[in-house]
């Protein structure tokens, strides 16, 4: 038997189908050739060009796991592999795809009318139209049920008032999926760019997810026709079901960022010499590389296993929480260790490591913080939910 490949130590690629490998290779080449050469500059300048949407639409990854309406209907595992390769480039790229495909498109695909699907999904799949997903507010983050944005009926119309915060793709978006409280509970609305009473404002000075647009959405007596409602979405469970899709992508994506850090550290350790030898020959460096290899391979196995469960329609939200919690923590550990291997070079944008490390701080927080996912898993294994001050026994 040949020696293990340092970049695929436990031969996980042998567990993938030909089609899955083809999708992975396609996304990997696209990232390497079309995006990665510019990513450090975008990160430094804190921007993500609009053309990235067209490029990703061109390779068919936007909404790739959805059926119909110009979407590829790929397996969950293939979708995960695409997330992995995009995030190996930059978390901002995977974020763009998550928000477009798993949050905005999924919400329309799952809860929208036929007319809404026809109007938006094919253009969004091609990257001609961009979507965003507005759930979080300045005073409602981990607890979206406490949102203040209100939608009230006025004749056939809806009138929305409120503010959404930290919204990925916000000012780039042609359509915002906005969640608001109504007299019948939380409902979702499609708010096209240019609607009177709707505006966006970018959030600046981020030191993480810089190659990504993050915005506030402002709704000031924003009047929408009756058919702007996502008619099949009733209650907080609807936006949370969209989050399950995007969180699943992060289970894979985080390991892409980790893999990139591990690869950079390994390569550096083989060539950087101190005390007359490559630093990769020192036991302490090898221990770090071994730890990184363990984390990357274990994380990938977990992602693949959850992907297979999802493809069999057997994946539970609590299991997605476990995956996101485990793999984002693992990726941060890898990034921090890789950073030390690179010494001073580890703090520059010449290498991808500190970019990934800073990005992963956002990944740890968005789509449910690590604490929230720990509480989901903890609640599941004890039968007691501990989100609120008083723990209650469930069931």
367 labelled catalytic: yes
Report in angstroms how near the CB of residue 264 gets to ligand TGC at its nearest.
23
Q: Which stretch binds ligand TGC (CB under 6 A): 110-118, 199-207, 305-313, 366-374?
A: 366-374
Side-chain-facing half-sphere of 287: CA atoms under 13 Å:
4
Handedness of CA 93, 96, 99, 104 (dihedral sign): negative
Among 24, 78, 136, 149, binds ligand FAD (CB under 6 A): 136
Does 141 sit near ligand FAD (CB under 6 A)? yes
What is the footprint of ligand FAD within residues 145-204 (CB under 6 A)? 166-168
Report in angstroms how near the CB of residue 362 gets to ligand TGC at its nearest.
8
User: Which of the choices ligand FAD, ligand TGC, none does residue 244 contact, using the CB cut-off of 5 to 8 A by kind?
Assistant: ligand TGC
305 burial type by CB count under 10 A (0-12 exposed, 13-18 middle, 19+ buried): middle
Report in angstroms how near the CB of residue 272 gets to ligand TGC at its nearest.
34
Q: Cα(157)–Cα(196) distance, rounded to whole angstroms? A: 13
User: Which of the choices ligand TGC, ligand FAD, none does residue 233 contact, using the CB cut-off of 5 to 8 A by kind?
Assistant: none
Q: Measuring CA to CA, how many Å separate 58 from each of 25, 36, 62, 70, 123?
A: 15, 17, 9, 12, 11
Looking at residue 360, the DSSP 8-state letter turns out to be H
Among 99, 217, 238, 257, binds ligand FAD (CB under 6 A): 99
Q: Which two tokens stand for residue 341?
A: 């291997």
User: Which of the choices ligand TGC, ligand FAD, none does residue 214 contact, using the CB cut-off of 5 to 8 A by kind?
Assistant: ligand FAD
* CB-based contact 131:174 (threshold 8 Å): yes
Complex with ligand FAD: residue 270 or 374, whichever CB lies closer: 374
What is the footprint of ligand TGC within residues 294-323 (CB under 6 A)? 317
Does 23 sit near ligand FAD (CB under 6 A)? no
| 3-state SS record for 267-295 | HHHHHCEECCEEHHHCHHHHHHHHHHHHH
Does 144 sit near ligand TGC (CB under 6 A)? yes
Among 112, 256, 366, 373, binds ligand FAD (CB under 6 A): 366
Among 16, 236, 270, 374, binds ligand TGC (CB under 6 A): 236
Spacing of C-alpha 291 from chain mean position? 25
Closest by Cα among 116, 217, 118 to 165: 217
Q: Which stretch binds ligand FAD (CB under 6 A): 23-31, 37-45, 277-285, 367-375?
A: 367-375
Q: Cα(62)–Cα(83) distance, rounded to whole angstroms? A: 11
The three-state secondary structure class of 373 is helix
Beta bridge partners of 181: 150, 186
Sites of contact with ligand FAD (CB under 6 A)? 99, 133-136, 141-142, 166-168, 209, 214, 362, 365-366, 369, 371-372, 375, 387
Sites of contact with ligand TGC (CB under 6 A)? 95, 98-99, 133, 135-136, 142, 144-145, 168, 235-237, 240-241, 243-244, 246, 317, 366-368, 372, 376, 387
């Amino acid at each position: 038997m040949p020696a293990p490949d340092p970049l695929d130590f436990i031969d996980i690629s042998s567990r993938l189908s030909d089609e899955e490998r083809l999708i992975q290779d396609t996304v990997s080449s696209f990232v390497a050739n079309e995006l990665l050469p510019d990513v450090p500059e975008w990160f430094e300048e804190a921007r993500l060009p609009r053309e990235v949407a067209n490029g990703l639409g061109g390779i068919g990854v936007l909404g790739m796991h959805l059926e119909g309406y110009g979407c590829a209907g790929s397996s969950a595992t293939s979708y995960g592999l695409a997330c992995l390769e995009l995030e190996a480039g930059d978390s901002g790229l995977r974020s763009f795809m998550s928000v477009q495909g798993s949050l905005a498109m999924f919400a329309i695909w799952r809860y929208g009318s036929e007319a809404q699907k026809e109007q938006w999904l094919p253009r969004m799949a091609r990257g001609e139209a961009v979507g965003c997903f507005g759930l979080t507010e300045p005073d409602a983050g981990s607890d979206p049920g406490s949102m203040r944005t209100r939608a009230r009926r006025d004749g056939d119309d809806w009138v929305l008032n409120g503010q959404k915060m930290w919204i990925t793709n916000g000012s780039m978006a042609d359509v915002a999926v906005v969640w608001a409280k109504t007299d019948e509970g939380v409902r979702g609305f499609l708010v096209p760019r240019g609607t009177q009473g709707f505006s966006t404002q970018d959030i600046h000075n981020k030191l993480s997810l810089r190659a990504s647009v993050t915005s506030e959405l402002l709704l000031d007596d924003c009047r929408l026709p009756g058919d702007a409602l996502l008619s099949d979405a009733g209650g907080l469970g609807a936006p949370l079901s969209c989050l399950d899709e995007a969180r699943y992508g992060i289970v894979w994506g985080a390991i892409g960022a980790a893999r990139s850090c591990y690869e950079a550290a390994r390569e550096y350790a083989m060539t950087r010499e101190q005390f007359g030898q490559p630093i990769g020959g020192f036991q302490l460096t090898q221990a770090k590389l071994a730890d990184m290899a363990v984390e990357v391979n274990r994380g990938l196995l977990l992602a693949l296993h959850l992907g297979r469960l999802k493809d069999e329609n057997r994946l539970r939200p609590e299991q997605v929480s476990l995956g996101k919690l485990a793999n984002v923590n693992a990726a941060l550990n890898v990034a921090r260790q890789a950073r030390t291997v690179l010494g001073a070079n580890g703090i520059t944008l010449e290498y991808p490591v500190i970019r990934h490390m800073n990005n992963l701080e956002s990944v740890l927080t968005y789509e449910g913080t690590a604490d929230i996912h720990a509480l989901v898993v903890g609640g599941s294994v004890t039968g007691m939910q501990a989100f609120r001050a008083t723990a209650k026994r469930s069931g």
